Amino acid sequence: MNYTSYNDFLKSFDIPEKIEYSEYKSKLKLLAKYGETYEEAKLFVEWANESELWTDELIEDFCQRCYDVFVVSPEMFLQNWYDSHIKQTARQNISGITPCESNGVIDGSKKVEYGRIIKNLFWEDVYSTYTTNSMGLPTTYEVLKKCVEYPFIYRMWKQPSSQKFVAKDKKLNSSLFGILRGASSKASIFNPNTAGYIISNILKSEKLFTPCLGWASYLIGSFSANVKHYVGVDVIPHVVDKCNQLCEEHTSNPFIGDDLKFDFYCCPSEQLDKRHDFIEKYKGYFDSVFFSPPYFDLEVYNGGEQSIESFPNYQDWLKGYWEETVKICYEVLEKGGTFSFVIVPQYQSKKETIYIGDDLSNISKKYFTESGVKQIQWKTQTSLDVAKSGKQKESGNSERLYLFTK
């Protein structure tokens, strides 16, 4: 498996020739929103001169700090990011599933460090995903990239409380990173421990179908469960390739001695039967279906035939993507098998509140019998709660696991 090393990570940044401090200061601009180009952005010094809070001394100090971090040693800044977000250390290695349910609530923060492998393998996808309810915040990758490639500084880093964190210092950088994590767009990731717990303890699955791959986390969770045959589908080719590689590595490891069978398809789930005769192949075969489907337009993933590209209108998406996928799942599940998915109950789209949990559940009820709903409490901050503030933010966010029987 090609895990991301620091050098691989560094290759994704096009660090320019160093310029003199005076040139940098005169060209430094504020990155304020998603997709903003250098030409569109405002000059930092012009902006600061108009603000009463910024004295000449403060402006000079801040520009010097930015120059030191982003021009003198951008590699150190990126190395600090890599070490604390992408590098996988022994502590984050996966070793079994930790039970994480009490009183019907699943604690998604148990073994949250298992998520590091997902970030290592898919950091570019995860950090480049735009989230609609982030109110125009740039993506995490966009901020990192633009600050080292242009004379750009992220608007959130020039607050009085954060200015001093812009420095060549690991500890101070980590405060800067905290602000960036809380104030930029990125995809949510599914803790592999949570996935593994659901698959082994709730579904007790041996023959599992996941109609999307969720950055490989359901597969990685399955490695510690009792799954004998894993069939997965996604539309992003390299996500499918990496899942295949993970399985090949897992099954060839003599210490694991696992006889896991696996099949992956790079195909929209709603098209599986048309393109791959999926129903004929697996009719009544699986004991469980589990996934966290795309959240309509809450998270905008890049690559392949994304469901919102095929169905940009919500009602069309419910019919064309969701209901067609549910129908296929119904056909390939055995009698008594479980259809399950995890989704946020509702979110604020461009103009309206979308009650996605109820909508997906109501369509599922046309085919299956509802057998339960459980709450998953995530502690990490994601697009699911980026719009919250203060205390609300600390309390994390929750999603629901919907369970149905055929």
Residues that bind ligand SAM (CB under 6 A): 187-190, 211-215, 217, 233-236, 239, 268-270, 292, 294, 301, 306-307, 321
Closest CB to ligand SAM: residue number: 214
CB of 188 to ligand SAM, least distance (A): 4
Closest to ligand SAM by CB, 236 or 289? 236
CB of 269 to ligand SAM, least distance (A): 4
CB of 332 to ligand SAM, least distance (A): 15
Closest to ligand SAM by CB, 144 or 239? 239
CB of 11 to ligand SAM, least distance (A): 23
Give the list of residues 6+ apart from residue 20 with CB closer than 8 angstroms, or none.
none
Coil, strand or helix at 10: helix
Closest to ligand SAM by CB, 167 or 219? 219
User: Using CA of residue 341, residue 342, residue 345, residue 349, what is the dihedral sign?
Assistant: negative
Closest to ligand SAM by CB, 275 or 283? 275
Beta strands in 45-104 (DSSP E): 101-102
Give the list of residues 6+ apart from residue 277 with CB closer than 8 angstroms, or none.
none
129-155 as b/e: b if 16+ CB within 10 A: bbbbbbeebbbbbbbbbbbbebbbbbb
Closest to ligand SAM by CB, 151 or 214? 214
The C-alpha atoms of residue 335 and residue 287 are separated, in whole angstroms, by 8
Closest to ligand SAM by CB, 131 or 173? 131
The C-alpha atoms of residue 200 and residue 96 are separated, in whole angstroms, by 11
Coil, strand or helix at 152: strand
The C-alpha atoms of residue 388 and residue 375 are separated, in whole angstroms, by 19
Closest to ligand SAM by CB, 275 or 281? 275
Residue linked to tokens 């104030």: 183
CB of 311 to ligand SAM, least distance (A): 9
CB of 314 to ligand SAM, least distance (A): 14
Coil, strand or helix at 402: strand
CB of 180 to ligand SAM, least distance (A): 20
Which DSSP letter does residue 165 get? G
Is residue 15 within 8 Å of 74, Cβ to Cβ? yes
